[in-house]
Amino acid sequence: MSESCKIEVIGVSKIFRRDGKNVAALAETNLAVREGRFASIIGPSGCGKSTLFNIIAGLMPPTTGDVTVDGQSIVCRAGTVGYMLQKDLLLPWRTILDNIILGLEIRGEPRAKAVERALPLMEKYGLKGFDSHYPNELSGGMRQRAALLRTLLYDRDIMLLDEPFGALDAQTRLSMQNWLLEIWKDFGKTVLFVTHDIDEAVYLSDDVYVFSARPGRVRAKIAVPIERPRKPEDLTTERFMELKHHLLELLSEERDPAEEIS
C-alpha cells in the first residue's frame, strides 16, 4: 500500500447460494483510493456495486479477499466507514436535528455536545431553521442534506455514498452535487460514490471506476482531467463530453454473461 492510499479492496469477490447454486455477484475486484480523493463507481444494474459497498461497510463478509484502511483489515468491522444509501432513512418520529445527531448518540456522545456540533453545520450547509422540523415536512433535497450531514457527523475518514441523489429531479440533483463538493472540499473526506449517471460521476470525481456486468469487476479506471473547483459550465465543455463518450463506450462494450458455479 502506498503511503497516501487510504482504502484498498484486494481480490474481493462475493458468491451467494441461491436455489442450490452458487451465483457470483462480484468477481475478484481490486481498487485503491488515495486519501482525500473522490472516486465514483459506474456500471450496469446488478453488477455488484452495492454488494461491494456492503462488504466495505462491514455488513457482509467477502467470499475471498480483503478490505484495508490505512493498511489494516476492516472486513466485518461495521462502523469503520460512513455509509449513506439512496433512501435517506430518516426516522419519521425524530426531528431533523435529532436525526442528524443519531450517529453521534449511538457512539455514546452526550446529546448536548452532539447538538453543539450539529447546529453550526446545519447553519452553514443550508438547514438553518429546520432543526425542529420532521422529515415529512421537508423536500427530497432537504432530506438528503440532513442524511448526508448525519453521515458526515458520524466522523469517519471514508464516506460511502450509494446513489444518494438518484431519486432527485435534475435541477435539485445538480444543486446537491455542488453542495456535496463544498462539503468534500471543507472536510477532506475520502469518498467512494456509486451512481448510474455518467455526468454525475465525471462532474464529481477525481477517478471513475467502470464495472463490468455481473459478476462485477473493475473493467477500467479513468482519471478525470478537469480542474477543480468544478462548475456547471464544465458539463458542456469539449473535454467533459469526450470523457463522457469514452465512458459510454466502455459501458456499451459486450457484457460478460452471468456466472453461475454449481
| Domain ranges across the chain | 1-77+156-165+190-262, 82-155
Q: Which of these ranges, 93-97, 152-156, 186-190, has the smallest mean pLDDT?
A: 152-156
Average pLDDT, stretch 217-225?
95
Average pLDDT, stretch 44-67?
93
CB 247 within 8 A of CB 222: yes
DSSP element (H, E) containing 64: strand 64-69
Strand bridging mode 260-261 / 158-162: unpaired
Average pLDDT, stretch 76-96?
92
Distance CA 66, CA 13 (A): 9
Average pLDDT, stretch 239-260?
77
DSSP element (H, E) containing 179: helix 170-187
Distance CA 64, CA 81 (A): 20
Could you give the 3-state DSSP secondary structure of residue 229?
coil
DSSP element (H, E) containing 182: helix 170-187
**Cell for 43?**
456500471
pLDDT of residue 259: 40
State yes or no: pLDDT of 238 exceeds 90.
Answer: yes
Name the pLDDT band for 62 (thresholds 50, 70, 90). very high
CB proximity list for 208: less than 8 A, separation 6 or greater: 39, 40, 41, 42, 201, 202, 221, 222, 224, 247
Q: Please name the fold of domain 1-77+156-165+190-262.
A: Rossmann fold (3.40.50)
CB proximity list for 183: less than 8 A, separation 6 or greater: 125, 148, 152
State yes or no: pLDDT of 261 exceeds 60.
Answer: no
State yes or no: pLDDT of 256 exceeds 60.
Answer: no
List, for residues 157-208, the tens digit of each pLDDT value.
999 999 999 888 888 899 999 999 999 999 999 999 999 999 999 999 999 9
pLDDT of residue 3: 54
pLDDT of residue 55: 97
Q: Which of 137, 142, 141 is nearest to 167 (CA)?
A: 141
Name the pLDDT band for 129 (thresholds 50, 70, 90). very high
Q: Mean pLDDT over all residues of the chain? A: 91
Average pLDDT, stretch 227-243?
95
**Cell for 107?**
457512539
Average pLDDT, stretch 95-115?
93
pLDDT of residue 260: 39
List, for residues 12-52, the tens digit of each pLDDT value.
999 998 888 888 999 999 999 999 999 999 998 888 899 99
Q: Which residues pair with 38 in a beta bridge?
A: 191
Q: What is the DSSP string of 80-139?
A: SSEEE-SS----TTS-HHHHHTHHHHHTT--HHHHHHHHHHHHHHTT-TT-TT--GGGS-
